Chain A
């Protein structure tokens, strides 16, 4: 692991105790490193602990064994240099779009005028300026998720963590949101870790794909994605991408057969 990595995960194991008292190992001996401004995706079948891994990175869940370091400081709890985006946008329905984006500023206590200017900038970045004064119920699923991304960027975190952010969207909106996210990433230059169960999405977005196997969750491989940037909808047809997707699909298919 190079010294320059921003996120450094060392031998992390996470075990949960179920209601009946059994111990379930969600993650087993996970080690990985993420470089600054890298776009990493984590892909795996449901139950492979990928969401748990993301929550451990965010400090929302603490590992049973092992350690996570961000910028060489051990993670002991939630921290403000991390922005989170959840599967459902998790907007507060009583706040307008603008007020939702301002939530981190309200919590952290940023100066109002600076915060407002920044929120407006972010809404322009996610192309929702016209919807600033709407309430979440008035937005489409894709728009809501864009508000959630803008909110996660509000307090200028170095790291953006996304937990299946487009899982609830229809296929066409999802592809459009992939491009939007890449555009936002290219502008904001954050370090991104995105969890998904879509193989195609994982390969299309990432510099590097972390492939996980289930029960207990372990890392099966780190797959480099040698595709140029910026990526466009044409990228999805590139032979290299198609090849990588096919290889991953074959792997996950073999898992499914074992399970059946």
Chain B
């Protein structure tokens, strides 16, 4: 039943073309324009550095740390967001009491909390999970609140006509109805959670891709930094891809692109 939307080759050709063009420019551009390899090392140098790091075992362990931090934060923040939204949308009193503060907090740049959380929770993974969770929480919360509210009147009347309990109405109607919206939030949250973990590592950590990036930075190893950036890019794209694939599979009745809200 899910509508497969694999693009035909001819539709992908332009994107592939752009990619090849950019990589070629990266390899031959800097020397041609006289840019110092210290600022922008050539593609081949970066790839060499990446292979070297892989060989020395620098990437895998640090990648795993950042991945666990991001996924832990994503999971905690998402569950928290859905639960909070469910409670808020079921209780008008709670909504009036709590929502204004959540909206106010939403406009605070959450990464600013990173130094504080490192002080509170230490240099280990806990503080990074906490930062990632806080950042992931808000887009899921806001989208889930919208989703729980977006139930057609007639569907609610149908449940009422069956004398459904509040919990049954939630389970059979409100929750599945909100899922496309929730996934809109999860799409944003997964990317945010990697950012959160990384910022946490910048503030203070012993392991992780963020730490590795800072080490290369201190040593002015620009090739190494680019190599870590590539790994981070792959990590972000892979996590986002997994969420989108889940979205497509689970929410087959609404198309992913319809409902994606951009969170700030």
List residues of A whose CB falls within 8 A of some B CB. 55, 58-60, 77-80, 82-84, 86-88, 90, 92-94, 103-104, 106-108, 134-135, 137-138, 155
Task: Tally B residues with Cβ within 8 Å of A.
Answer: 20
CA A137 to CA B254, docked complex, whole Å = 10
Residue numbers in B under 8 Å from A108 (CB-CB): 162-163
In the complex, the answer to whether A155 meets B162 with C-beta atoms within 8 Å is yes
B168 at the interface (CB under 8 A from A): yes
Q: Contact at A107–B159, with CB atoms within 8 Å?
A: yes
**Contact A80 B162, CB 8 Å, known A60-B157, A94-B176, A137-B253:** yes
| Nearest CB in chain B to that of A87: its residue | B154
Within the complex, the shortest CB–CB distance from B30 to chain A, in Å, comes to 52
> What residues make up the interface of B, taking CB atoms closer than 8 Å to A?
1, 152, 154-155, 157-164, 168, 172-173, 176, 179, 252-254
Task: Check B160 against A60 for contact (C-beta < 8 Å).
Answer: yes
Instruction: Give chain B residues whose Cβ lies under 8 Å from the Cβ of A87.
Output: 154
**Within the complex, what minimum Cβ distance (angstroms) separates B152 from chain A?**
7
Distance A83 CA – B162 CA, assembled complex (angstroms):
8
Given contacts A90-B155, A92-B176, A107-B172, contact A80 B160 (CB under 8 A): no
If A90-B152, A94-B253, A137-B253 touch, whether A103 touches B172 (CB-CB below 8 Å) is: yes
Task: Establish whether residues B172 and A92, one from each chain, have CB atoms under 8 Å apart when the complex forms.
Answer: yes
- Residue contacts A-B, CB under 8 angstroms, 6 given: A58-B161, A60-B161, A78-B161, A78-B163, A92-B173, A104-B162
B161 touches A84 (CB 8 A): yes
With A90-B158, A92-B155, A92-B176 as known contacts, state yes or no: A107 contacts B164, CB within 8 Å.
yes
Contacts of B254 in A (CB 8 A): 93
A59 → B minimal CB distance (Å): 8
Check if A138 sits within 8 Å of B162, measured CB to CB: no
Q: A60-B160, A84-B158 are in contact. Are A135 and B1 (CB under 8 A)?
A: yes
Lowest 6 A-B CB distances belong to which pairs?
A93-B253, A84-B161, A107-B162, A107-B164, A90-B154, A86-B154
